[in-house]
Amino acid sequence: MAGKKYLFTPGPTPVPPQVLAAQAAPIVHHRSPDFRPIYESCLTRLREVCRTERDVLLYTASGTGAFESAVANLVSPGEPHLVVSAGNFGERWATMTAGYGADVDHLRYEWGETPDPEDVRARLGEREAKAVWIVHSETSTGVVSDIQAIAAVAKEAGALTVVDAVSSLGAVRCETDAWGLDVVVSGSQKALMTPPGLGLCAVSEAALAATGTSPRFYFDWERTRKAQAKLDAAFTPSVSLVAGLDVALGLLLEEGLEAVLDRHIRLGRACRAGAKAMGLELFSPDEDRSAVVTAIRAPEGVSSDDVVKGLRDRFGMTIANGQGSLKGTIFRLGHIGWFDVFDITAQLGAVELLLTDLGADIERGVAVTAALEAYEHAPVADTGTA
């Protein structure tokens, strides 16, 4: 259909019409009574979604910017830090912390592997670290780490835990306070169903007390914390995006955080069930934690470049290719945020048609039903992460 388009990437993600409408409201001044109630509501709802009593610091920046706030505030040159990576984003944080002069112990897994808390324990036993840096959902591979276990190991060793929850917050359980996560970073454009442009950072008292000497101004935690405590902003915030985020968080909390997490688990199950029914091989693990994005190997003889391009040209669907060396090898179907099961079946139906035309040896006519069944008939017994 001419012009009908579908955004199925794991960020930016589709934004509900109510949130888009909020973007189009006239601009208000960030220090006026027109904005303060929106700001207060947004900050309160963020705490609820982050499952924390702490302040959640809000930055006009991408998720990478908010993550850099953690690096700029916590890393002083020469300090030992342990960075765990198993994909593109983990490797970015290793580069960033090293760029700030950290003495980085890099626990590097192959892309697609799942970090093992016991490996973290062993590394921390060999060398102490001020903080352990871990990606919750590695968007490049679809792997979701067991951050609860890793944070527990870090705590035992006296290290802070810094979590990249950019693509997971609001999709996969992240109990900031209960699990003792010192820093949780996320962004507006993933499961929080808002356009890109806002980053956030929930920071524990211990982390605030551990700030170091690296130069920083825009990303200085204390400057933003002090301003937010007065319902002010240290710098002109993106008032439109804050208004949109407030609406989006309202939708999320109206559905209920537990229901939202449950929906994401079932969306992941549906996507994997459909792909497997078609005869495709999963790249991301086939487990309930894989609730953000499903990475699938392109079948024998097909490049994922052609899958991405074909979906786009024929059906107006934007999905994600593999990143780095996985480009051409895997494709990634997103399912965070404003998704229901019919967004999954649309992707599966289109993939089925396209792969058939590309000559792949796949099973036809079963994926959509398998997805619908997995979504409806697999009640989530435990809404935990495992």
- Chain residues that interact with its own copies, rule: CB under 8 A: 5, 7, 9, 11-15, 20-21, 23-30, 32-34, 60-65, 68, 71-72, 95-96, 99-101, 187, 189, 195-197, 214-219, 235-241, 312, 318
Q: Which residues touch 279 (CB under 8 Å, ≥6 apart)?
A: 299, 361, 362, 363
Give Cβ neighbours of residue 8 (< 8 Å, ≥ 6 apart): 317, 318, 319, 333, 334, 343, 346, 347
Q: Find the shortest distance in angstroms from Cβ 356 to its own copies.
A: 24
**What are the b/e assignments for 192-223, b being 16+ CB within 10 Å?**
bbbbbbbbbbbbbeebbebbbebebeebbbee
Distance of CA 218 to the CA centre of its chain: 23
Q: Smallest gap, in angstroms, from Cβ of residue 233 to its own copies?
A: 9
Residue with Cβ nearer its own copies (285 or 316) = 316
Residue type, 196: P
Which tokens sit at 101?
């002069």
CA distances from 57 to 42, 62, 154, 231 (A): 11, 13, 23, 11
**Quick one: 179 or 338, whose CB is closer to its own copies?**
338
CA distance 46 to 65: 18
Residue whose token pair is 């945020």 = 337
Residues 6+ apart with CB under 8 A from 309: none
In degrees and rounded to multiples of 5, residue 162 shows phi and psi of: -115, 125
Min CB(240)–its own copies separation in Å: 4
Burial zone of 17 (CB within 10 Å; 0-12 exposed, 13-18 middle, 19+ buried): exposed
Residues 234 and 134: their CA atoms lie apart, in Å, by 28
Q: How far is the CB of 61 from its own copies (least distance, A)?
A: 5
**Nearer residue to its own copies within complex by CB, 244 or 268:** 244
What is the smallest separation between the CB atom of 149 and its own copies, expressed in angstroms?
Answer: 29
Nearer to its own copies, 74 or 362 (CB): 74
Minimum separation from the CB atom of position 62 to its own copies (A) = 4
Minimum gap (Å) between residue 7 Cβ and its own copies: 6
If the CB atoms of residues 138 and 288 are measured against its own copies, the closer one turns out to be: 138
Amino acid in position 205:
E
